[in-house]
Amino acid sequence: MPEDGHSYEAAGVSIERGDRAAALMRSAVEATHGPEVVGGTGGFAGLYALSGMEDPVLASTMDGVGTKTVVAREVGRYDTLGADIVNHCANDVLATGARPLLFLDYLASGRLDPEAVAVVVRGAAEVCKELGISLIGGETAEMPGMYGEGDMEIVGCCVGACERSEVVTGEEVRAGDAVIGLPSSGLHTNGYTLARKVIEDAGISYSDTPEPLECTVGEAYLEPHRAYVREIEALRETVEVRGMAHITGGGLPGNLPRSPGGLGARLDASSWEEPAVFTMIRSLGNIPEDEMRRVFNLGVGFCVVVSAADVDQALGILREMKCEAWRIGEAVGEEGVRFA
Amino acid sequence: MPEDGHSYEAAGVSIERGDRAAALMRSAVEATHGPEVVGGTGGFAGLYALSGMEDPVLASTMDGVGTKTVVAREVGRYDTLGADIVNHCANDVLATGARPLLFLDYLASGRLDPEAVAVVVRGAAEVCKELGISLIGGETAEMPGMYGEGDMEIVGCCVGACERSEVVTGEEVRAGDAVIGLPSSGLHTNGYTLARKVIEDAGISYSDTPEPLECTVGEAYLEPHRAYVREIEALRETVEVRGMAHITGGGLPGNLPRSPGGLGARLDASSWEEPAVFTMIRSLGNIPEDEMRRVFNLGVGFCVVVSAADVDQALGILREMKCEAWRIGEAVGEEGVRFA
């Protein structure tokens, strides 16, 4: 049954391609395993020992990279998609106050291309290793009835944990608190349906370099999703972080209020630097500003809310980590996000 | 960005369809939440308090239902797919010795059909509630470039936990131990590419009832994946379970040896009852026995290994739970699975 190959324990009709993919990725995957991974790969589920915690809360999230995979197929480059899916999921876990601990991937295509699969999983494993996340399991599915031969669906699941007292609910946010924006690297994994349509309608190819880009459209569109794990860890060692938001589908207006405590904010849209890729999309597609804000992160990939008294210290800590963050606005009593 | 709608926090171009799907599923999803779910739905990650454990080990798995969704589309019935994905993932967690605790789903299609999505997620939620699993998060993706309008990809992730001392590695298995087979309900979620091809090649439709079936092919093929959570819990209260295997892609030969401790077995293929659907597939497709065994579970959905002294008690406990299990063979010193 071709749909049933396991990434690290391939089975079925695709056993040859599954085995080849597994062989190509195994050492990179195993390099993410510390002593907390119990029993290695190939079991029915990945085992991870959660030691030394008093009152642990697990944080779990599942997400896909969306049609960024279509861009990858058209450009013929899959090496950044692993970072995309890990960082997308890890940042979601991070926004709850938890530390991302383990990751699982699901890759599906019409015909398993062992090299492409291995490139994606090795990319995921590299980022996992950097961030101290164990890549603990995965599934590679081959479904000729569902996907085109070159199509690849990429889904990830990240599980993290923290003490109950460390959960950031947003309930501590007070009107007047500062909203700090951390820079995105570009589109991250959101808005690709619109981003692709704009290019297509304008008759521009992924190898073109339209104004004001300084790289090709393909390079700009495949820039990997940035992780904020290290930055937020450093910040929380010193500063009280009262709220966090990962800016994904829905943009700033859709995501700032997702912090469970609720959060209204007034933002100054001129306070941060917009990457050229968004300027290009807005201008080529003649997209209204409201739509731009609801579809794209526009340069702010993650937000933290701190008291006004802590904002300079917070910005200093981020700057030391080469993270050029901005004070982009403040928390307000009324619901919703408004732009000044 | 239509690809970015969140099941329970819809966003993007598909906001109307996403909101409708979320409204249709919300109460069923929330009914799976006990006090261990922290903060409800809509946050960046689902939070679950893991209390009262000394030395917890997490077990995580990610899987899809494969092209069983293609059968569902052709039959026009999606209500069993939720049970499929939850039970597939939960049984994988179970096979490590852990208790399944939380579940996340990912649904993707070319155009979000709110009713179909809600039917799948409500089906998943119902099974989660029965098994004491919290449905803690999900993502609904709309990707017109990747999927056909009626296509639906269904992926799940299940996380469980147990004390480190409760992990079942298979290392305790000794030659001469008994292998008990628990009955499957049919194909479960494996072998659909071959099962569909056999029907297609024979010119049989899903509404036909070929010999020896007593229901239509559509009904037989959509019979939901069976869960073994309650049975295994009851068994482990009384009997020492030394090894477990969830029989998915790869069949008995592919899955019995996946228990991390390794396990060779000699099985008696006449010792259990084969559901009619497999007999039909073998005969219609003229499929060699070796292929049947590597593609399908052939009636055994889950295996437990117990000492020969415990086998009658184990079978009695299962029988009391209306689980007509069989002693299907024994553990042997040599690697691999052989059939007598």
pLDDT tens digit sequence for B51-71: 999 999 999 999 999 889 999
φ, ψ at B183 (rounded to 5°): -70, 140
Distance from the Cα of A319 to chain B's closest Cα (Å) equals: 25
pLDDT digits (tens, 9 = 90+) for B210-264: 999 999 999 999 999 999 999 999 999 999 999 999 999 899 999 998 776 667 8
How confident is the model over B300-310, as a mean pLDDT?
A: 97
Interface check B294 vs A, CB under 8 A: yes
Paired tokens of B19: 């909101």
Strand arrangement of the beta sheet that strand B99-109 belongs to: A37-38, A46-49, B56-64, B152-163, B99-109, B134-142
Which residues have a Cβ under 8 Å from the Cβ of B237 and sit 6 or more positions away? none
The tens digit of pLDDT for each residue in B115-170 reads 999 999 999 999 999 999 999 999 988 888 788 888 899 999 999 999 999 999 88
User: In angstroms, rounded to a whole number, what is the distance separating the alpha carbons of residues B12 and A67?
Assistant: 14
- Phi and psi for B84 in degrees, rounded to 5? -55, -50
Q: Which of B60, B151, B169 sits opposite A45 (nearest CB)?
A: B60
Chain A interface disruption, residue of B74, B146, B281, B295, most A CBs within 10 A: B146
- A44:B249 CB<8 A: no
Q: How far apart, in whole angstroms, are the C-alpha atoms of residue A64 and residue A89?
A: 9
pLDDT at B262: 66
Largest CA distance in chain A: 62
Residue B40 binned pLDDT confidence (cut-offs 50, 70, 90): confident
Which pLDDT score, from 0 to 100, does residue A11 have? 33
Looking at chain B from residue 87 to 106, which residues have their Cβ under 8 Å from any Cβ of chain A? 91-93, 95-96, 98, 102, 104-106
CB contact under 8 Å between B92 and A295, yes or no, is: no
Residues of A in contact with B42 (CB under 8 A): 258, 260
Per-residue pLDDT for B43 more than 90? Answer: no
Residues of B in contact with A161 (CB under 8 A): 50
Structurally, at CATH architecture level, domain B2-166 sits in 2-Layer Sandwich (3.30)
3-state secondary structure string across A60-111: EEEEECCCHHHHHHHHCCCCCHHHHHHHHHHHHHHCCCCEEEEEEEEEEECC
Q: Within 10 A of A132 (CB to CB), how many other CB atoms are there?
A: 14
The answer to whether the pTM exceeds 0.90 is yes
Could you tell me if B220 and B212 are in contact, meaning their C-beta atoms sit under 8 angstroms apart?
no
ipTM of this predicted complex? 0.93
Q: With an 8 Å Cβ cutoff, are B57 and A42 in contact?
A: no
pLDDT of residue B258: 78
Do B51 and A55 make contact, defined as CB atoms within 8 angstroms? yes
d(CA B133, CA A315): 41
Q: Tokens 């056909």, residue? A: B148
- Walk along chain A (340 residues) and give the pLDDT tens digit of each residue: 223 333 333 333 356 777 788 888 889 999 999 999 998 777 899 999 999 999 999 999 999 998 899 999 999 999 999 999 999 999 999 999 999 999 999 999 988 889 999 999 999 999 999 999 999 999 988 888 788 888 899 999 999 999 999 999 888 999 999 999 999 999 999 999 899 999 999 999 999 999 999 999 999 999 999 999 999 999 999 999 999 999 998 999 999 987 766 678 999 999 999 999 999 999 999 999 999 999 999 999 999 999 999 999 999 999 999 999 999 999 998 889 999 8
Residue with structure tokens 């020896």? Answer: B212
> B59 vs A40: CB contact, 8 Å cut-off?
no
* Residue B229 burial (C-beta neighbours within 10 Å; 0-12, 13-18, 19+): buried
What are the strands of the beta sheet with B46-49, ordered from one edge?
A: A134-142, A99-109, A152-163, A56-64, B46-49, B37-38
Answer whether B179's CB lies under 8 Å from B266's CB: no
CATH number at A178-339: 3.90.650.10
Cβ–Cβ < 8 Å for A53, B51:
no
Q: Domains of chain A: which residue ranges? A: 2-166, 178-339
B139 closest CB neighbour out of A45, A62, A146:
A62
Decide if B9 touches A, using CB distance below 8 A.
yes
Q: How high does pLDDT run on average in chain B?
A: 91
| Residue B237 vs residues B133, B241, B244, B314: alpha-carbon distances, Å | 19, 10, 15, 11
- Nearest residue of A to residue B39 by CA position? A260
Smallest CA–CA distance from A246 into chain B, residue: B44
Test A50 with B58 for CB contact under 8 angstroms: yes
Angle at B194 between CA B107 and CA B337, to 5 degrees: 100
**Closest Cα of chain A to B5: distance in Å?**
7
Collapsed DSSP state (helix, strand, coil) of residue A175: coil
Is the separation of the CB atoms in A187 and A221 below 8 Å? yes
Q: What distance in Å separates the CA atoms of residue B227 and residue B109, rounded to the nearest whole number?
A: 26
Cβ-based neighbour number of residue A35 at 10 Å: 7
> Which candidate, B223, B229, B188, places its Cα nearest to that of B75?
B223
pLDDT > 90: what percent of chain B? Answer: 79
Q: What is the pLDDT of residue A16?
A: 72
Is pLDDT of B22 > 90? Answer: no
Contact A57 B49 (CB under 8 A): yes
Pairing relationship of beta strands A37-38 and A46-49 according to DSSP bridges: antiparallel
